[in-house]
Structure 1
Amino acid sequence: MNTANSVDSFTCPEFLAMERTIIDDFVDCTREACEEAEACVKELDNDGGAAYVHRLFRAMHSLKGNCQMVGLTPFVELLHRVEEIVARVRAEQDPYFRELGEFLLLAIDEVEDLLNHLIAHGSTSDVRRKKLYELCDTLQKSSSRGFQPQQFKDAIALLDGKVSSKETVSKAPRVMLELQDDMLMMRKFAQQIDNLSIYRKNRSEQAAQLTASLNEALGNPVDARQLQAASLMHDVGMSFIPHSIFNKEGGLSREELKIVQEHVVTGAQMLLRFGGWDEAARIVLDHHERYDGYGYPNGLTGKNIHPGARMLAIVDTFCSITNERSDRSYKRSLLSAISEINANIESQFDPQMVEMFNDVVRKLIAKQ
């Protein structure tokens, strides 16, 4: 455990130094394990059988394993103590009862809250972590004759006096009608389109980072915020494409292809509606144009294509190649991606920009 400035908090530098994509992946996996554990507790409260106890144990074990993989040692120690409670029920040493499940839900909530605070602020409460650890430890030591409901009631009361499951105590937040910052809203839209397919995980954010790096390498010919907005919003129009087409495996018909191509117009129009993002809208509109004039929607050639769109075309192709797709259940390497892009200079991509993108990817490979 690594202590922060305050003796009441701790941090985990090894974890926080990891790439954002790894941290995001960890958060997603952790959320899935927590949701699985909560679903199992709900079923067990409704007289679910032993299968849900086994699933609950696996969910807790996954939580612990995820933390171990990314160097969150303090959480590994804590989750091991929580897991031991489930292990006793799984081994039929003790019966399951509602109070035990309620305590587990509160423990999971506490772990999630501590993790979120660590990610958001760089440190989190060691007092709360130790409190939960000691409660689990006490339950183990004081239960030599078997777990008793009253012991868990007492533990729940000590855990900040919460006495009901999170479904009954959580109060729905009041919904406020207010305008968010444009860029925050664009990130939400980008996350939404990325969540529509398992093959698009963090794709928009990855595109935004790479276009920013390419723009910088070229001497910033495009306004950085306009380019960031375009990178986040370039595929948002795809969310209006029918799912039967969006998720279709194999080739598209001519009519289906026309429907897909409309996404650039939809995305550009959305940016114009925001106001103040005219350049970003033009980038989105042009990002499927080809250097040789065989792109869409306007068949523009060479320097007639917005420079931001020429950058985004390279990056979008790179992201597509290096991520899994419905027709290809594996990721191709960075080198194979850059080789394919280089093979299409002058026909599809701006040669000068591809040359600079090679440098960006070289630095990315060196970093990895």
Structure 2
Amino acid sequence: MDRQRIEDWLRVDPEGLQDFIDGLRDYLPAIERDVARLRVARDDRDALGSLFRSLHNIKGDAALCRVALAVALVHPIETMLERVRRHEVPFTDLLSEMVLLVVDHLELAMNRLAAGHAFADLRVEPLVQGIEELAQLAPSEFDERLSSLIGLLASRRSLAGGGSDPAGEPTALRRQREDLSFFRSLARQLDGRSPRFAGRCERLARLVLQTNQAAGGGIDPAQLEAAVYMHDLGMMFLAEAAWLKPGRMTAEDKVALHRHPLQAAGLLSRMVGWAEAAEMVAQHHESPDGKGYPQGLPAAAICPGARLLAMVDAFDSVMLKHDHRGRKRSVLLAIAEINACDRQFAAEWIAPFNQVVRRLLDDR
């Protein structure tokens, strides 16, 4: 593989990369749905057209955001699907596995890039080279080469080393993506309880992930995203009158409120692969001064993800409090309050968060 090409893959604009990742997530459910449809009905032209458009749009977004690695991964798969559309090659189970393999590697590689981590173990280079060669093969050579390429790379598909079993069970990476989609849907249900919360979960996720990236990407982005979506899920078990009403909460309301982090954390802790997110959720209302809840932990016992989530969650709450003053004014008031509360929030997150918010203001 050309060394210059690899250097081009690593050369990304952080904001453009995050925009691409945000958009990529929106395409993934449709891709998996269309692949599943095509496995059942190989001549489903609507599903094939939808799958082709999703990949074409991903490639277009990647080009626009200048994410060269994504273009390199998606373009030859798009070429293969165009050959299927022209009836040059059939849509087989092997080809469906290859499409999902590429999507898995694409998402994981993008998350690694965003966090500043290496992705050599993903074998992206032989994957790109292999699918480029594959897209040009004669139909008689197609299945053999496809099977060989899948066999070479399947062991690297998952986050924890597990691939697809012979029955076609989802990989750990695909399960993780499905879990995140489910968590996001729950968060949107919670946001729907009040018009003021519209778009809140996506807004928090963007701020938290960008701040983590600005600080060097030390926290796993998927775990962090899961924590954002799930941190307030326990609020759904409270009577709406207890937390949506104006004025002071009663003592009973406060006791119930202080339990909500443990309810969501308990759910996450019972799901495979989300222990880190569960810890963040359980601790996101703890405070460095030891006056938080539900356990009153000291600063040293609170995990970094919880400290970051607590700060961004508070920032968004202050913005909502001042939203009648206009977007820019509410942002300025919220960031001023966060910076003034040096004992309530973790100092190590304030500088990278300020950096993210400054970009937010500059973009408006």
TM-score (norm 1): 0.52
CA contact (8 A) 1:11 1:123 kept: no
Unaligned segments of structure 2, at least 5 residues: 156-162, 173-181, 189-198, 212-225, 264-278, 295-310, 342-349
C-alpha change, 1:3 and 1:70, in structure 2 (3 Å) is farther
CA contact (8 A) 1:68 1:76 kept: yes
**Is residue 153 of structure 1 aligned with residue 144 of structure 2?**
yes
C-alpha change, 1:142 and 1:205, in structure 2 (3 Å) is closer
The equivalent residue for 2:347 is none
**Is residue 18 of structure 1 aligned with residue 27 of structure 2?**
no
1:61 Cα deviation (Å)? 1.8
Q: Which is helix-richer, 1 or 2?
A: 2
**Is residue 365 of structure 1 aligned with residue 328 of structure 2?**
no
Give distance in 2, aligned partners of 1:261 and 1:53: 53
CA contact (8 A) 1:153 1:163 kept: no
- Counterparts of residues 244-255 of structure 1 (less than 5 Å): none
Give distance in 2, aligned partners of 1:106 and 1:312: 34
C-alpha change, 1:125 and 1:163, in structure 2 (3 Å) is closer
- Counterparts of residues 179-198 of structure 1 (less than 5 Å): 196-197=187-188, 198=199
Quote the sequence identity (%).
Answer: 16
Match of 2:60 among 52, 62, 65: 65
C-alpha change, 1:50 and 1:366, in structure 2 (3 Å) is closer
Give distance in 2, aligned partners of 1:161 and 1:100: 15
The equivalent residue for 1:139 is 134
CA contact (8 A) 2:95 2:146 kept: no
Q: Deviations over 1:72-114 (max 9, x none)?
A: 1133133111111112223455442333223322333333343
C-alpha change, 1:264 and 1:338, in structure 2 (3 Å) is farther
The equivalent residue for 1:266 is 259
Q: Deviations over 1:210-267 (max 9, x none)?
A: 9xxxxxxxxxxxxxxxxxxxxx999977422337967x9xx95689x86976665336
Report the secondary structure of 1:241's partner residue: helix
Give distance in 2, aligned partners of 1:205 and 1:67: 18
Larger deviation, residues 51-60 vs 201-210: 201-210
The equivalent residue for 1:242 is 236
The equivalent residue for 1:88 is 83
- Counterparts of residues 74-223 of structure 1 (less than 5 Å): 74-125=69-120, 128-143=123-138, 147-148=139-140, 151-161=142-152, 166=164, 168=166, 196-197=187-188, 198-201=199-202, 203=204, 206=207
Q: Deviations over 1:307-329 (max 9, x none)?
A: xxxx9997343443799xxxx9x
| C-alpha RMSD of matched pairs (Å) | 5.6
The equivalent residue for 1:334 is 328
C-alpha change, 1:39 and 1:123, in structure 2 (3 Å) is same
Q: Deviations over 1:252-305 (max 9, x none)?
A: 5689x869766653368899x97xx675562569xxxxxxxxxxxxxxxxxxxx
C-alpha change, 1:2 and 1:75, in structure 2 (3 Å) is farther
Give distance in 2, aligned partners of 1:209 and 1:127: 23
Give distance in 2, aligned partners of 1:160 and 1:58: 27
**Is residue 47 of structure 1 aligned with residue 38 of structure 2?**
no
Larger CA Rg, structure 1 vs 2: 1
C-alpha change, 1:131 and 1:208, in structure 2 (3 Å) is closer
Unaligned segments of structure 1, at least 5 residues: 174-190, 211-231, 286-310, 343-348
2:320 aligned partner, one-letter code: S
1:47 Cα deviation (Å)? 1.0
CA contact (8 A) 2:184 2:229 kept: yes
1:66 Cα deviation (Å)? 3.5
1:125 Cα deviation (Å)? 3.6
Give distance in 1, aligned partners of 2:97 and 2:9: 29
Q: Deviations over 1:17-54 (max 9, x none)?
A: 525xx755643543443443233222111116111101
The equivalent residue for 2:302 is none
CA contact (8 A) 1:40 1:56 kept: yes
Report the secondary structure of 1:282's partner residue: coil
The equivalent residue for 1:282 is 291
TM-score (norm 2): 0.52
